Amino acid sequence: MKNLIFSGIQPTGALHLGNYLGAIKQWVDLQNEHESIFCIVDYHAMTVAYDAKKLPERISELALDLLACGIDPEKAILFVQSQVPEHTELGWIFNTITPIAILSRMTQYKDKSEQNKQNINAGLFTYPVLQAADVLLYKANLVPVGEDQVQHVELMRVIARKFNKAFGELFPEPKPLLTEQARVMSLSDPTKKMSKSLGEKHYIALSDSPDVIKRKVRSAVTDTHAGSKSPGVENLFAILEALGGEDLVKELKSQHKKGSLQYADLKDVAANTIISHLKPIRERRTELEKEREHVGEILIQGAKRAQKIAQQTMSEVREKIGVR
Ligand code: TYM
């Protein structure tokens, strides 16, 4: 079977190292081998409080980031979810076959409703149903994501199966594709995953300057937890490894074992590796910023290409479910 890749990302602010190592880095590799579709999921971003005036800018900033990381519109389709309304149409249909019991077990829903007690809306609850529609609309079978999204991909499989059983075979059951570094942890609380919602000192944005990166890595938590390896040190090792510093990591790990590793040295090596890896991305971004109109055009063309596929699937879906 031919592979089709689909993945998405929310326009919720600066791209961080977790997004990059968990997802985007492999998107860039996958687009060379497979038909790939990448989506900026603005409807998903509305499930928590957001500033409507800032949303257009966030979308175009994210598009710039993705292109700077190496997403190539000649190879992959890059588009914005709300420009292809078939996503919400299929999402609605999937709502009617998705058990509430499964949705209430979703970890992301539980976490986000814990963090946003004043705004536990129905969209937050059915978020993974729209996510299933995103992927199945293109009949994609592989979904490159970080570990936190695996549960949502499993739900897609359930929804595909339920639909196929009720209305006849139509959708593949997609599988998650994980990188080695599918869970990058926060720098200042390495028991939690790196995320923007935790606050500035927890993540490294791809757009952070070398000085900011140095400062954030230097203040990363590395204390040893009694009886176990320090999760902060493990996290720095894992980041280094993911950025291609295997040899360095081997050397540093052996020093660590002997007890001779200074955490300040580890942090310097980690900061420098991150800075040099992000340098070409920052440079490409500066170039792309000069051609914002062109970036807008890429998204419009991407939406056109995506919608062609989406419309075809929707006509098959409508036929099967008995609406014309
Ligand atoms: P989002 O926008 O939160 O994150 C985008 C991608 O980055 C990964 N990621 C991480 N990976 C490793 N370590 C981390 N600390 C880390 N933080 C984030 C996420 O796993 C994700 O792959 N629900 C999705 C967006 C979405 C989607 C889709 C994904 C909507 N529709 C369809 C795939 C297919 C999300 O919230 O991603």
Same domain, 271 and 207: yes
Same domain, 25 and 40: yes
Res 196: pLDDT: 87
Question: What would the pLDDT profile of 299-319 be if each residue is shown by its tens digit?
Answer: 999 999 999 999 999 999 999
Same domain, 65 and 46: yes
In a domain, 187, yes or no: no
Give how many domains the chain has, as a whole number.
Answer: 2
Same domain, 171 and 282: no
Name residue, tokens 């968990």: 22
In a domain, 249, yes or no: yes
Same domain, 106 and 233: no
Res 274: pLDDT: 96
What is the distance in A from the centroid of ligand 1 to the CA of 7?
Answer: 8
In a domain, 191, yes or no: no
In a domain, 189, yes or no: no
Same domain, 92 and 168: yes
Counting ligand 1 atoms within 8 A of each CB, the residue from 5, 15, 19 with the most, and so the one to mutate, is 19
Same domain, 247 and 146: no
Concerning whether 201 is annotated as a catalytic residue, the answer is no
Single out the residue of 177, 142, 178 nearest to residue 36, CA to CA.
142
Q: 162, 175, 196, 253: which one is catalytic?
A: 196
Average pLDDT taken over every residue of the chain: 94
Concerning whether 25 is annotated as a catalytic residue, the answer is no
What is the distance in A from the centroid of ligand 1 to the CA of 99?
Answer: 23
CATH number of the domain that residue 133 is part of? 3.40.50.620
| Closest C-alpha to ligand 1, atom 34 | 7
Same domain, 215 and 274: yes
What is the distance in A from the centroid of ligand 1 to the CA of 197?
Answer: 13
Concerning whether 112 is annotated as a catalytic residue, the answer is yes
CATH number of the domain that residue 206 is part of? 1.10.240.10
Res 224: pLDDT: 62
Same domain, 66 and 175: yes
Task: List the domain range (segments joined by +) for residue 82.
Answer: 4-181+291-321
Same domain, 316 and 226: no
Same domain, 169 and 203: no
In a domain, 186, yes or no: no
Question: Among 11-25, 53-67, 153-167, 248-262, which stretch is predicted with the lowest mean pLDDT?
Answer: 248-262
Q: Residues with Cβ within 6 A of ligand 1?
A: 6-10, 18-19, 22-23, 41, 44, 131, 134-135, 143, 145-146, 148-149, 152, 182-184, 193-195
Same domain, 146 and 273: no
